């Protein structure tokens, strides 16, 4: 029988999610990869328990995480039932809907039909009565924004989610959505977007500034740029790397000699700070109080233990930031 470590909350930092009452760990665990039907269940268990034992209370999923679609929720539900259910009130569990999930016209995008069906399916797969955060996973230009936001509002009112979030929205769309959700008195608290040293999109599209102004949190996915912001590719592409085993989101031709040279120089900055490149990349995201948390993925428990060290040192000198910016591409 699993018993969580008593000292699990002693070292993790918890940040307020915008102006809400909810605190999230600085480092959250994402189940995007390594929790599908092709992965080892025993390893999934080790990853989740290691995370929880070290203060990671937030587990982030989506309806289509797999393979196959829905598999991550199903496997996480099994882990909850067998190990973590006694600690449910100490956990933040989030899921999303917005990408393709099932055939036909009702299994994708942002309609009321899709979102309400999806949350029901997700809860069934995980064996839960509610999730803590339910996200619309991406904007849908073909569905009225009011329809999507009202569906989120009704999901909260039905007790199937405590809070709602938006993912992959830009600043202007976020502002529109916030006005609707505020009028509906919905606890919308967080945006989930890609953000890392190499991808500054949320700085350019207004999401970061708008989110801070409106008092909403930001949680970053891909903070390590699918593994590029590590030392993993310094000496070639490992056979067990995501490029070799998946290849959907990071391609072999993206790992050029020029990029590796710049990443090695960035690694030197990290070394001077007493950090690995990965730790520095996560700390770089967390340096700004507008960022609530970073979502890490992991295939090994050692990666979780290494990555949570990032929250220990998130301050940067002006010179360090300028040097990092000069090496970004």
Helices (H), 158-241: 171-183, 201-204, 207-214
CATH ID of 14-232+285-313, from 3.20.20.100, 1.10.287.90, 3.40.50.12780, 3.30.1020.10: 3.20.20.100
Angle at 65 between CA 259 and CA 203, to 5 degrees: 45
Structure tokens at 263: 């990443």
Structure pTM?
Answer: 0.94
Give me the numbers of helices (H) and strands (E) for the chain, helices first please: 12, 10
pLDDT in tens, the chain (329 residues): 999 999 999 999 999 999 999 999 999 999 999 999 999 999 999 999 999 999 999 999 999 999 999 999 999 999 999 999 999 999 999 999 999 999 999 999 999 999 999 999 999 999 999 999 999 999 999 999 999 999 999 999 999 999 999 999 999 999 999 999 999 999 999 999 999 999 999 999 999 999 999 999 999 999 999 889 999 888 766 656 555 456 555 655 667 788 899 999 999 999 999 999 999 999 999 999 999 999 999 999 999 999 999 999 999 999 999 999 999 97
Rounded CA-CA distance 123/127 in Å is: 6
All structural domains of the chain with their residue ranges = 14-232+285-313
Q: Nearest to residue 289, comparing CAs of 314, 256, 264?
A: 314
**Interacting residues of 134 by C-beta distance below 8 A, sequence separation 6+:** 94, 95, 96, 97, 119, 152, 155, 156, 160, 161, 163, 164, 165
Rounded CA-CA distance 295/25 in Å is: 10
Question: Are residues 206 and 169 in contact, defined by beta-carbon separation less than 8 angstroms?
Answer: no
């Amino acid at each position: 029988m699993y018993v969580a470590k008593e000292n699990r909350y002693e070292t993790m930092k918890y940040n307020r999610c915008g102006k809400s009452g909810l605190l999230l760990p600085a480092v959250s665990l994402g189940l995007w990869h390594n929790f599908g039907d092709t992965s080892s269940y025993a390893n999934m268990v080790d990853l989740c328990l290691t995370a929880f034992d070290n203060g990671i209370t937030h587990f982030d999923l989506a309806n289509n995480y797999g393979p196959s679609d829905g598999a991550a929720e199903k496997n996480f539900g099994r882990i909850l039932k067998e190990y973590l259910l006694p600690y449910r009130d100490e956990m933040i569990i989030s899921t999303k809907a917005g990408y393709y999930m099932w055939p036909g016209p009702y299994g994708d995008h942002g309609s009321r039909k899709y979102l309400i069906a999806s949350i029901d399916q997700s809860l069934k797969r995980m064996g839960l009565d509610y999730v803590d955060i339910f996200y619309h996973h991406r904007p849908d230009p073909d569905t009225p924004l009011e329809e999507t936001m009202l569906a989120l509002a009704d999901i909260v009112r039905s007790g199937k989610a405590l809070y709602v979030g938006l993912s992959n929205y830009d600043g202007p769309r976020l502002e529109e959505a916030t006005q609707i959700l505020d009028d509906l008195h919905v606890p919308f608290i967080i945006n989930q977007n890609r953000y890392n040293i190499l991808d500054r999109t949320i700085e350019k599209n207004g999401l970061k500034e708008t989110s801070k102004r409106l008092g909403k949190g930001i949680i970053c996915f891909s903070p390590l740029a699918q593994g590029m912001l590590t030392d993993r590719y310094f000496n070639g592409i490992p056979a067990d790397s995501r490029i070799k085993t998946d290849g959907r989101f990071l391609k072999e031709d993206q790992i050029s000699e020029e990029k590796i040279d710049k990443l090695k120089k960035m690694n030197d900055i990290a070394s001077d700070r007493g950090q690995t490149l990965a730790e520095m990349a996560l700390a770089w995201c967390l340096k700004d109080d507008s960022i609530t948390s970073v979502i890490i993925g992991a295939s090994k428990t050692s990666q979780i233990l290494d990555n949570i060290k990032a929250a220990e040192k998130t301050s940067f000198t002006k010179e360090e930031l300028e040097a990092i910016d000069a090496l970004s591409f």
